[in-house]
Amino acid sequence: MSLFPLGNDYCGQDKRQRAAQELLELLNNDIILKDARFEGIPDQLKEMLELKNAWSDKTRSPVEKKQGLMESLFLQLQGTLREYYLPASLDSLRTELVTTTLPSDQDYALIALLCNNIMSFLLTLGMPLSECFLWHNRILMNDRNDFVTRFDSWAEKVNVRIQRYTVRLVMENEKFYDMLHQSGEDTIFNGCRYTPFINTKSVRSVKATIEVEAVSVLSAKTGADYQVRRKTPSFRAGI
């Protein structure tokens, strides 16, 4: 969606075409998108993107001819993905794993596909790989409980939602402290509030407070740390 405002600048049309082709491939290959919870939006997009000659002739591309409609459908798809993709994927994975019938190679392939797609979606949402590994080790690999109990506990942990977090980051930097202290009040810059203070070691320091959207405390810390480090080095984060 961020490519629409480009218009024809910076090869915007070519970038939209490539993005739409990649989206079409995902729509064709991801079986979870057939779930009724997605309200048929993936099929609507597929029908439009599979228009004959849509890619060989840019003037026929639905992404260009019907930008308003396409952007609306993209927004709807984004909303349903955030709301339902993980629950639908976890439901399907649970069904495959708890079946009592002997699995076939096709069943194993489906399980691998579901696991890979869940992992990709979590990473796209911003969950650090280290956090994914942590839940795997602490819950799924904990053999003190039966597998179904472990799976349900793990699924509850990874069925995340984007929330707003307030993250506070602290830096010991006397020059930065002096610069901010001269203003006599907090400084707001690039979405961060900077507050000079003297820490418990009597060192002149600065606290940055920033609000971020994230799926977990760890991902909030990681995201906030990245945003602030682009402007100011040597921060450590806390919520």
At 184-198, the pLDDT tens digits run 778 888 788 999 998
Question: Which token pair is 72?
Answer: 């609306």
SS3 content of the chain, % helix, strand, coil (to 5): 60, 15, 25
13, 14, 125 from 56: Cα distances, Å? 13, 12, 33
- Name the E strands within 20-176: 163-172
Mean pLDDT of 218-223: 87
Point out which residues pair with 214 in neighbouring strands: 163
- pLDDT of 158 higher than 90: yes
At 33-86, the pLDDT tens digits run 999 999 999 998 888 877 655 555 566 666 666 777 878 888 899 999 999 999
Of the CA atoms within 13 Å of residue 187, those in its CB half-sphere come to: 16
Distance CA 223, CA 221 (A): 6
- Per-residue pLDDT band for 11 (boundaries 50, 70, 90) equals low
pLDDT at 115: 95
- pLDDT of 128 higher than 90: no
Going by C-beta distance under 8 Å and a sequence separation of 6 or more, which residues neighbour residue 118? 86, 89, 90, 93, 158
Mean pLDDT of 162-181: 87
